[in-house]
């Protein structure tokens, strides 16, 4: 029994040192500390679609005019399709000279038409099922530098809570086994903390070609939402009787 008490107190002391709570450790208040990890996997229900374009011109004014035309055409295509303006956010935009290395393989006539460039990009937040439609609308309106999609959840707390609950259940199961091995009974939960981590989400990338009249008949890309894994590590301290 003396060995059992020393073991229980040592286990608890390590956990208490890392926690903000103060748990009284004594011969009458014996505890077991357990750390456990579990995870949940679910399909993303939100997509953040990155769309953008590059437009060229023989001088700054011409490039800007071409860029303005494409820019407004993309936004019009999205908003006309019912995408709320509040879901469309600007990422970046610039008007810059084209560097020689960018056009060195072009003919002299083509180089003359590409002296300046306008670039612009946005993010469009929409439902996961609507990602392909958003990308299709933007590309057909002139978004020739588009395709990255970031996947997420409308309610980020839900999968995190599920992962933490599963980890806590696993911790309780491990604590019960430890208590049984010590001929004791597991008591109430005294303290618990958790750390939730999301697995890296690989964005889908593509570089779209310039739109053409023939593109109007092209079907949207087949895009499926990604599965996202959330894991939680829980440290739990239980009383033992």
In the chain, what are the domains?
A: 2-43+160-199+232-240 (no CATH), 46-152 (3.30.70.2970)
20 pLDDT band (50/70/90 cuts)? very low
77-84: average pLDDT: 98
Please provide the average confidence, as pLDDT, over all residues in the chain: 85
184-213: average pLDDT: 68
How many beta carbons lie within 10 A of that of residue 49, not counting itself?
Answer: 29
Would you call 177 helix, strand, or coil by DSSP? helix
139-156: average pLDDT: 95
CA-nearest of 143, 125, 151, 161 to 38 is: 161
CB 4 within 8 A of CB 11: no
Compare 145 and 8 and report the one with higher pLDDT. 145
Q: Name the pTM for this structure.
A: 0.73
143-150: average pLDDT: 96
């Amino acid at each position: 029994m003396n060995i059992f008490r020393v073991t229980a107190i040592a286990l608890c002391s390590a956990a208490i040192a890392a926690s903000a709570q103060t748990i009284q450790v004594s011969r009458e208040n014996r505890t077991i500390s357990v750390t456990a990890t579990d995870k949940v996997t679910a399909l993303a229900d939100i997509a953040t679609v990155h769309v953008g374009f590059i437009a060229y011109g023989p001088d700054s004014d011409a490039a800007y005019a071409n860029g303005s035309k494409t820019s407004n055409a993309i936004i019009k295509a999205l908003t006309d399709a019912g995408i709320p303006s509040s879901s469309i956010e600007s990422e970046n935009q610039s008007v810059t000279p084209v560097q020689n290395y960018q056009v060195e393989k072009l003919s002299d006539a083509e180089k003359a038409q590409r002296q300046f460039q306008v670039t612009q990009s946005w993010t469009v937040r929409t439902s996961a099922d609507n990602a392909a439609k958003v990308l299709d609308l933007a590309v057909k309106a002139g978004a020739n530098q588009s395709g990255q999609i970031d996947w997420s959840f409308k309610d980020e707390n839900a999968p995190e809570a599920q992962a933490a609950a599963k980890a806590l259940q696993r911790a309780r199961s491990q604590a019960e086994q430890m208590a049984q091995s010590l001929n004791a009974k597991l008591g109430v939960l005294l303290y618990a903390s958790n750390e939730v981590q999301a697995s890296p989400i690989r964005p889908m990338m593509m570089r779209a070609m310039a739109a053409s009249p023939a593109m109007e008949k092209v079907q949207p890309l087949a895009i499926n939402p990604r599965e996202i894994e959330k894991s939680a590590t829980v440290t739990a301290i239980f009383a033992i009787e």
